[in-house]
Amino acid sequence: MVVLWYFIALALSTCGTFLAYNGPLSSEAWQCWSGAGAWKRDVLRATVASLIAIFVLLHMRPALTKQKGLKDFLVFVPQRRHEWILLLGLTTLLLWLMLVVLPQHFKANLPDNCLSTLDDGEFLQIRKPYFPYLFYVVGYWHGIIWPAFICLVRSIQWDLKSRQQAWVRLDGSLPDQSLKEDCATSENFERLLVAFQAYVLRLKGIAERYLPVLCCSRWRWVYCMNS
């Protein structure tokens, strides 16, 4: 089901960027500025992001299955107030960038050999292609990035809670300083050892889950900076 979700998101992103750069809703200014084949770079970026997002979700599976699992698409829908705030903030930021910042940046950085394309009007040449490109933005950020991000946030919250519970059990197994020496029996020592092993195993599981994600995210960042 996760693969199907990302296939749909990738298809939406591909359609959006193709229509913006090389479709009937494109413009000469967009093609002059970045080339008619710029949509291929966007598709490659979305494909790499999808593979990394699926990798992240698979590593978050042990924590997510404790909540709702990955078989239901509803797991990607905000469930708490702070999650709705994050989604609303992301949507507001993207709309502001798409409708205000990016068109102004596009016009200010348009090469001199492309300025003649603005004779047909700024709306048709600059702003109109942003409408189909919005499908790419929605597919990329809401369909690809958001599910991995929100599941990562939930996984971190669950792991912090689980680690705290393991620490409480370990702390509860420590002998009280007020106890007499004859209370330090082998039974108490075994109980303390079991609690300590459980705590270490919990930390080991967290490290094994997040270290590959951090390494993969760093590689994705380097790829974005070089693309």
- Sign of the alpha-carbon torsion through 131, 132, 138, 140: negative
Mean pLDDT by 10 residues, the chain (227 residues): 86 92 84 81 91 80 50 71 91 91 86 78 84 93 90 77 68 55 58 66 62 55 45
pLDDT at residue number 161: 74
pLDDT at residue number 125: 83
pLDDT at residue number 69: 45
Give the pair of three-digit tokens for residue 131. 């409408």
pLDDT at residue number 224: 46
The structural domains of the chain, with segments of one domain joined by +, span 2-155+211-226
Backbone angles phi, psi at 36, to 5 degrees: -70, -20
Cβ-in-10-Å burial (0-12, 13-18, 19+) of 111 comes to exposed
